[in-house]
Amino acid sequence: MTEERLEELLSQMTLKEKIGQLSQGQIYRPDCEKSVREGSIGSVIAGGRPMSNDLQRVAVEQSRLGIPLLVAYDVIHGYRTIFPIPLGQAAAWNPKLTEEAARIAAREAASEWIRWTYAPMVDIARDPRWGRIAEGSGEDTYLDSTLGAAMVRGFQGKNLSDPEHIAACVKHYAAYGAAEGGRDYNTVDMSERTLRDVYLPPFEACVNAGVATIMSAFDELNGVPSTGNPFLLRQVLRDEWKFKGVVISDADAVHELVLHGISANDKDAARVAFLAGVDVEMFTATYRSNLEALVAEDKVPMQVIDDSVRRVLRLKWELGLFEKPFARPNPDEVLLAKEHLDVAREFARQSLVLLKNENRTLPLWKEMPSIAVIGPLADNGADQLGTWRGHGDGKESRTALQAIREAISKNTHINYAVGVESCLSTNRSGFDEAVRAAKESAIAVMFVGESATQSGEAASRAYLSLSSAQLDLIKAVQATGTPLVIVLMAGRPLELGEVLDAAPAVLMAWDPGTMGGPAIADVLFGEYSPSGKLPISWPRTIGQVPIYYNHKSTGRPWVDPLRLPSATRHVYLSGYNDMVATPRFPFGYGLSYTQFEYSNIRVDPQHIKLGESARVTARITNVGNRAGDEVVQLYIRDLVASISRPVRELKGFQRITLEQGKSQDVEFVLPSDALAFHNGEMKRVTEPGRYRVWVSSDSASGQPAEFDIE
């Protein structure tokens, strides 16, 4: 749309029609069609059924100006073909695969007229109690930024007008993942430095990737709700980052300014949110009911209204809706296409994290005489899709039980028992059958964890353990003496003390999506060597939360007292008296069926100037007995700075494939700007000094090298 055409259309609009473009409706509301015809809503959020073009026809052919409708939906990790939950995707550490999955999700959604998704979520999450940790990429700023930008590119493609792509919406802006106590919708209070160094960079990375829209968060940030926060929405987003796209509220967040206590009523809430920088209100009527009066009372300038409407109209033009409002791919050729399922299977394989594998319990032998498959998640196609499953259907999922039956030898017998009907069930009547199945088998594979409803929005948890019935089931099966493998499905890390004690092998499968079953079978039987790495530190117990790898040293750093001389073990350190301070599994951790050796770690040159780059190299050798993938991770530490710095920070990673006995030299280019942080004057700077660098398999291992910035 040319600026002339845009201004011409704007000049023809009444104030009610302009406000309509800033208001979103709900497709399942009985007055939705009437509102579209009247021009009082400009976008709709789709419901739990596939879209049709009926409403678009009303907008284009029956409304006064024929402005097309923009249809939105929560396409978070797939539309009909469901990929692993975003936290599971992050465990693959594969931006190319993340981008491809988003491309497929966009293609499927667009085939049913959806052209706007509320993803990616790039909230840094250091607290697994928070249910929405499942929707993001974990605790690290660099990983989250990289994967968030990849998802934006996948959704939007090179040209938004391509009918197979959709507008992305990065959320939740900002710092929503730091809600107190892991309680959803709660308060966040943090320094501006932490905000700018840790929580804002993933949003900026998505802006730099060209994201079309941004969603404000539910949280209160330093006393000001994000949905009414001009510092976030105007100063940082518009003035500093030069964002030109549309800002939308989260659901009902404008009205909730009243509940936060910063607005007296809905009218004042509409004024506060709109002037703060929220262009569109998501599917509630606070704007529709109040903006017109606010303009008449000179409390909201007409120019601000027009600026927001321009952004909305421009987005619709960029999506090609004015020229081709009914364009879409053929859904019969798109939904659940074989190529989509193949990508879903590969993504699920790469997302699986092998947490424990004593005595090489895994992989299993396909020719085993019998295998017990036990647990509420072994054959549960719905729960394996996880939270925010789009239009995914559990009946279309390939479950682990199905895949195991297809993978084994025709001479292998499967003894299947659910044991517990669901992850939330307290009924233990199935225990006897599960115990009998285990006794009659050479090995038992148990599928336990969380139901899909236990993670996601409004699904915060005060306890992170498995249900008591599932724990009792594990103990009952363990007591049979049959070797035990546990496959864990969940949207977050869980407390695993008893589980790890019970089983020699534990595989974290997250919520793996439509093709989760075949992916799990591929790993269990050695068709694929596990290569996933944790995108979040895994606590030993909930008392350690929040726990994250890039913490500060403190003046009294914690050291395992057992590593100290016996005479000095009772010292004052930053830890606990009843638990070690380290996580059960560190950020970046994940085992393989082979082994990788790191050597020849060096930095060249060892002295660089500001504005220059150092090359960090290491040799990775597969010293095991089979091929495998390894995620090589680069960490740094600023040893002395004007502001205390984290003990390690991720600054790069590469996924490589190595055959048995082969080596590869991996190189990272580390610009001095990548080491910048906000100093005492809140200026982003890289300070001269000494830096330590690791190239390692996780955040807690590796031999360091050092270099200087002059």
Residues taking part in catalysis: 250
CA distance 334 to 164: 10
Query: In the sheet that 505-508 helps form, which strands lie side by side, from edge to edge?
Result: 353-357, 505-508, 484-489, 443-449, 370-374, 413-417
DSSP per-residue codes, 376-409: TTTT-TTGGG-SS-TT--GGG---HHHHHHHHS-
DSSP per-residue codes, 518-581: HHHHHHHTTSS------SS-B-SSGGG-S--TT-B--SS----GGGS-GGG-S---SS-SSS-S
How far, in whole angstroms, is CA 552 from its chain's centroid? Answer: 24
Q: Which amino acid is at 688?
A: P
- Torsion 647-650-654-657 (CA) sign: positive
Lookup: tokens for 213: 């829209």
Rg (Cα) of the chain, in Å, rounded?
26
Lookup: tokens for 533: 């790495």
Give the burial string for 460-489 (b: 16+ CB within 10 Å, else e). bbeebbbbebbebbbebbbebebbbbbbbb
Helix 338-351 × helix 516-524 angle, to 10°: 50
- Alpha helix stretches (DSSP H) within 131-216: 141-156, 192-194, 201-208
CA distance 605 to 603: 6
Q: Which amino acid is at 610?
A: L
DSSP helix/strand/coil, 707: strand
DSSP per-residue codes, 444-491: EEEEEE--GGGSSTT---S--SPPHHHHHHHHHHHTTT--EEEEEE-S
Neighbours of 190 (CB within 10 A): 13
Q: Name 629's bridge partners.
A: 657
CA distance 29 to 26: 6
Best CA proximity match to 140, nearest among 587, 538, 584, 685: 587
CA distance 88 to 600: 32
Best CA proximity match to 396, nearest among 111, 48, 81: 81
Best CA proximity match to 138, nearest among 554, 546, 452, 523: 546
Q: Is 269:263 a contact under the CB 8 Å cutoff? A: yes
DSSP helix/strand/coil, 120: coil
